[in-house]
Structure 1
């Protein structure tokens, strides 16, 4: 629910940047990792390559990013932010800092550290299943009594 609330807020807050729903995630990661290739970006955001390709094309056509061929492998397209992309990223980054402050309001430093550590462990747990399912695996479901 927290992620959905923050995503909904972001989609409203970023409308003036002409970013379509969820595109800010892609732009943010490209700005953080200039020269990233699309497959790495898809893995980082946890989406399939087709979904990433659509978002990347839209960001490129809207002037937020450019693709450049890698020197060592012309098939690999490296993704870089444009000046417009960097300007949008700065606004997105500031909004993220504000959202973090609001979300963590009233928590002690110790509570924040505990929450971050727990979330990292939870993310690791689900990433194992995510990778397994993305490679065609099927998870074995069990009743609550089997846990």
Structure 2
């Protein structure tokens, strides 16, 4: 490879920030801020998910997850209910408002996918998916070792 390996991570970071900036701009009108669309989408896709599982899924620390969840509850995108099996835990569910905005989130996600993969063949998309999955798996142990 001609370019240094660290440029790959820089490109991934730039791509992520670009997509987040576009998406956050799109969802301002719904009252979603700073990545909250990620929480809404995962809760809609996994109704009854607990906060710990959600924070692991999104790769965010518990404190950040708690703050975002609190705001989403205040703005009526989600609700929480005590877990019947674990009185210390809460389960998260989307509200009707959350479900409606989720449809918009998926529309925008599909639009971003179409833009990002313009000109890519199916085999190229599959290779990217496999390589990114491998990179994610390689970092999993470091992620688990972080203090949360």
- Structure 2 counterparts to residues 82-101 of structure 1, below 5 A: 82-101=95-114
Query: Where does residue 30 of structure 2 map in the other structure?
Result: 17
| RMSD, matched Cα | 1.0
- Measured in 1, the distance between the counterparts of 2:34 and 2:40 equals 12
Query: Where does residue 138 of structure 1 map in the other structure?
Result: none
Q: 2:69 aligns with which of 27, 39, 56?
A: 56
Query: Where does residue 39 of structure 2 map in the other structure?
Result: 26
TM-score (norm 2): 0.88
Larger Rg: 1
Structure 1, residues 64-111: CA drift from partner, whole Å, max 9, x if none?
Answer: 000011122222100000000000111001100110011000011111
Query: Where does residue 122 of structure 1 map in the other structure?
Result: 135
- Measured in 2, the distance between the counterparts of 1:76 and 1:133 equals 22
Query: Where does residue 50 of structure 2 map in the other structure?
Result: 37
- Give the deviation of 1:129 after TM superposition: 1.4
- Measured in 2, the distance between the counterparts of 1:73 and 1:117 equals 36
Query: Where does residue 72 of structure 1 map in the other structure?
Result: 85
Say which SS state the counterpart of residue 91 (structure 2) adopts.
strand
Give the unaligned 5+ runs of structure 2.
1-13
- Give the deviation of 1:132 after TM superposition: 2.0
Give the unaligned 5+ runs of structure 1.
136-147
Say which SS state the counterpart of residue 146 (structure 2) adopts.
helix
